[in-house]
Amino acid sequence: MTKNYDPETAMQAGRYLDYGGQYLPEVLMPEINRVAAAYAKYKDDPDFLNEFHTLLREYAGRPSLLYYAKNMTADLGGAQIYLKREDLNHTGAHKINNVIGQALLAKRMGKTRLIAETGAGQHGVATATIAALFGMECEIFMGKMDTDRQRLNVYRMELLGAKVNAVTSGSMVLKDAVNAALQNYAARSDDTFYVMGSAVGPHPFPAMVHDFQSVISKESKAQLQDAIGQLPDYVVACVGGGSNAIGSFAEYIKDPSVHLIGCEAAGKGITTKQTAATMALGSTGIFHGMKSRFLQNHDGQIDSVYSISAGLDYPGVGPEHVALMDEGRAKYVPITDDEAVDAFEYIAKQEGIIAAIESCHAVAEVQKLAPTLSKNQVIICTLSGRGDKDVASIAKYRGIELNED
Ligand SMILES: *Cc1c(COP(=O)(O)O)cnc(C)c1O
């Protein structure tokens, strides 16, 4: 058990050891404090929680299954493997859990407009989805490089009624979209709520995202208990900003027998520049309103990052993960593109599941870990999303051109 780190105290204060906090321009402080006060007011409010859980059930399709991966278990010949199926949620990933929670809070605060930044577009699509459901206005900020690369997701957001703003400042990627969204937030905070896409950003966002995503581990703990009457020995999840991982870990942080493993994107490898392995290679810095760990140069300029998986292509990680790593409570491992693509094909053939390439970073770790464990040990691996979106790029990675037009 960790000595210095207590998740509840940390979340209340917005300080995870020395990480987290609120690093924002002065003009945004009053509004972020209103968000923090509103969250403190509603986080344990029975009506708020009831509405949240009703939407998770009736709209997102929860609870998600905890599936015993019989074939993988037999093939890998070690631990029993269970898959937490966030890929089965409406919109095909865990992101919907968080966006429902934040949009409900926005409504409670009297806001009528949601904004978000997005890299690959997945968080933008989730935000546009809930804005449509709630009849709210929605504007998504996306670097122009990304709108050009991800035209399908831009069109999806537009179908859902959102306006997509292609940001042309700086290098026209995610970090520039973050700055543009923050500027817009400062100008429009009277009617606008900034929906954070992962367990990142200024307090209270990392705590809020932890809470909304903790439904993953609340369910998995009860489901495994029902199935075999025990705790898992390992919980494995992929880490971009860290929201599906913190949600997968949350209920187990205080169970010292449960090993927590986060899998980050090594891209072409941690000895190359084409990587997104923040834990392995990053250093402490300030960006996106928080103190955390980032890939940055000596002047504190955020590096451009690379991974085959768009969802793990974030130059930092949420502050709570850095605290969990420093405390030795969780371990973070880099997984390369090659390993993730192998895992993508492996789980498809073994279990008949086309999982998101992000999630396959966790599957790759399970492939390494399971054979080293005994048959009475249990691994829960979170499948954060479904992989239909990745099929064309995996084919391309294997040198197969799919001519769809
Ligand atoms: C966005 C995304 C991720 C990475 O985000 P986290 O906040 O680290 O969970 C992982 N998997 C899928 C399927 C995603 O869409």
Q: What is the DSSP secondary-structure string of 104-158?
A: HHHHHTT--EEEEE-SSSHHHHHHHHHHHHHT-EEEEEEEHHHHHHTHHHHHHHH
Between the CA of 244 and the centroid of ligand 1 the distance, in Å, is 6
Rounded CA-CA distance 151/125 in Å is 12
The number of the ligand 1 atom at minimal distance from the alpha carbon of 86 is 13
The number of the ligand 1 atom at minimal distance from the alpha carbon of 385 is 13
Ligand 1 pocket mutation, candidates 243, 320, 365, criterion most atoms within 8 A of CB = 243
Rounded CA-CA distance 372/365 in Å is 11
Nearest CA to ligand 1 atom 14: 311
The number of the ligand 1 atom at minimal distance from the alpha carbon of 242 is 8
Confidence of residue 12 (pLDDT cuts 50, 70, 90): confident
Mean pLDDT over each residue of the chain, to the nearest integer:
95
Between the CA of 154 and the centroid of ligand 1 the distance, in Å, is 18
DSSP state of 389: G
pLDDT of residue 119: 87
Confidence of residue 405 (pLDDT cuts 50, 70, 90): low
| Average pLDDT score over residue span 351-362 | 98
pLDDT of residue 11: 85
Rounded CA-CA distance 153/309 in Å is 15
Between the CA of 209 and the centroid of ligand 1 the distance, in Å, is 12
Instruction: Evaluate if residue 96 carries a pLDDT over 50.
Output: yes
The residues annotated with a catalytic role in the active site are 95, 117, 384
Domains of the chain, CATH where assigned = 25-56+95-209 (3.40.50.1100), 63-92+214-397 (3.40.50.1100)
Could you tell me what percent of the chain has a pLDDT over 90? 88
Instruction: Evaluate if residue 257 carries a pLDDT over 90.
Output: yes
Rounded CA-CA distance 332/245 in Å is 11
SS3 296: strand
> Phi/psi of residue 143, each to 5°?
-55, 145
Confidence of residue 69 (pLDDT cuts 50, 70, 90): very high
Q: Which range (101-110, 375-384, 386-395) has the least confidence?
A: 386-395
Confidence of residue 385 (pLDDT cuts 50, 70, 90): very high
Instruction: Evaluate if residue 1 carries a pLDDT over 90.
Output: no
Confidence of residue 254 (pLDDT cuts 50, 70, 90): very high
Between the CA of 63 and the centroid of ligand 1 the distance, in Å, is 18
Instruction: Evaluate if residue 123 carries a pLDDT over 80.
Output: yes
Rounded CA-CA distance 177/171 in Å is 10
Ligand 1 pocket mutation, candidates 83, 84, 94, 208, criterion most atoms within 8 A of CB = 94
Q: Are 361 and 367 in contact (CB under 8 A)?
A: no
> Regarding predicted confidence, which is higher, 53 or 297?
53
Q: Are 210 and 320 in contact (CB under 8 A)?
A: yes
Would the pTM count as exceeding 0.85? Answer: yes
The interaxial angle of helices 122-134 and 151-159, nearest 10 deg, is 10
Ligand 1 pocket mutation, candidates 87, 89, 198, 308, criterion most atoms within 8 A of CB = 198
| Average pLDDT score over residue span 234-247 | 98
Provide the token pair at 176.
Answer: 């520039």
pLDDT of residue 300: 85
The pLDDT tens digits for 142-193 are: 999 989 888 999 999 999 999 999 999 998 888 889 999 999 999 999 999 9
Rounded CA-CA distance 370/76 in Å is 6
Q: Are 105 and 49 in contact (CB under 8 A)?
A: no
Confidence of residue 10 (pLDDT cuts 50, 70, 90): confident
> Regarding predicted confidence, which is higher, 51 or 11?
51
